[in-house]
Amino acid sequence: MQQLLKEIPEIMRVNNGLTLLEDEKEETCTENICFRQYRQLAHYFSLLCFLLTIVTLLLTLCLVQTTLVFRAQSTLQETKLRDLTHRLEKLNKSYHLLFSQYPALNQYCPVSNSTTAERKCSLCPAGWTPQGEKCFLFSQDRADWISTQYRCMTLGGAVATVRTEDEQVFLWKKAQSLSQGDSYWLGLRSSGAHGGWQWSDGSKVEKGPQFWEREPDSTADSRELCGRLTPGDNYRRSWFTSRCSNSLRSICERRQASLQ
């Protein structure tokens, strides 16, 4: 008990000391440190607000500029599109005018794709095969020589003539690939006794290379004879004589397209 009584003032002292300490601390805070801390905080806060305002302003500026640039670009693109559409319409008009005023263009530039109306141009009309400076048309229909010549003329040409070895090789190969052994009329015609052989355009056959199977003796036969191509093994010996009234397949020729 005495021990406790002894200790009470001690405890009181300690308690007082604590209270005293706390009081001291409070006083210091209000007067010095805390006030300074609040001011600093306020400073930081206003600085933060200022920075935020600046950033917001910058962002707004950026946005405005982007919008302006975008609008300018889309205006430019609209102008370009309108210009291109206008040019396309003009081209389309010229294109249609060209094909309506020059119907022959349809022959040389036929529509190759009906879906897209795409055209492909060639030096020869559709169906004709280009070779050298000519176009050739092989027909599987049979007719006599005169009918064949008329038919070729209505197609803008004549029965095929052979002026060079290249042409001979080409015709021989093509005839072989189309029908082994079948005969095709060439533009060869004898003009009766002693008249000699002529091409369908009236020129003399003797002036160019010849590929007769057997040299025809024009003096021996006064009948009208015509020449055919029968593609055998040897292209050098593939022209034969035939009665002009025989019905054979045919080859027409015409010149390639030229703007001169």
Ligand X SMILES: *[C@@H]1O[C@H](CO)[C@@H](O)[C@H](O)[C@H]1NC(C)=O
DSSP letter, residue 205: G
Name which of 121 and 193 has its Cβ closer to ligand X.
121
- Using CB under 6 A, pick the residue from 2, 113, 258, 260 that binds ligand X: 113
CB of 69 to ligand X, least distance (A): 32
The DSSP bridge partners found for residue 129 are: 136
For ligand X, what does the binding mask look like between residues 133 and 162, x meaning CB under 6 A?
------------------------------
Give the nearest distance from C-beta 78 to ligand X in angstroms: 19
Beta-carbon-side half-sphere exposure of residue 61 (alpha carbons within 13 Å): 6
Residue 209 and residue 196: Cα distance in Å, rounded? 15
CB-CB neighbours of 11 under 10 Å: 10
Question: Least CB distance from residue 122 to ligand X, whole Å?
Answer: 16
For ligand X, give the closer residue by CB, 111 or 257: 111
Q: How far is the CB of 124 from ligand X (least distance, A)?
A: 20
Q: Phi, psi (5° rounding) for residue 253?
A: -130, 155
Residue 115 touches ligand X, criterion: CB under 6 A: yes
Alpha-carbon span 216 to 219, nearest angstrom: 9
Task: Indicate the residue among 99 and 212 with the shorter CB distance to ligand X.
Answer: 99
Side chain identity, residue 79: T
Closest CB 99 distance from ligand X, rounded Å: 10
Among the listed ranges 69-77, 112-120, 148-156, 224-232, the one in contact with ligand X (CB under 6 A) is: 112-120
d(CA 196, CA 97): 50
Q: Of 175, 176, 98, 107, nearest to 136 (Cα)? A: 175
Nearer to ligand X, 119 or 142 (CB): 119
Rounded CA separation 247/242 (Å): 10
x/- letters, 82..111, toward ligand X (CB under 6 A): -------x--x---x---------------
Going by C-alpha positions, the residue among 162, 210, 167, 151 that lies closest to residue 186 is 162
Q: Judged by CB, which is closer to ligand X: 115, or 260?
A: 115
List the structure tokens of 149: 């010549």
Cβ at position 115, least distance to ligand X in Å: 4
- Contact status, residue 227 vs residue 241, Cβ threshold 8 Å: yes
Which residues of this protein are in contact with ligand X, per CB under 6 A?
89, 92, 96, 113, 115-116
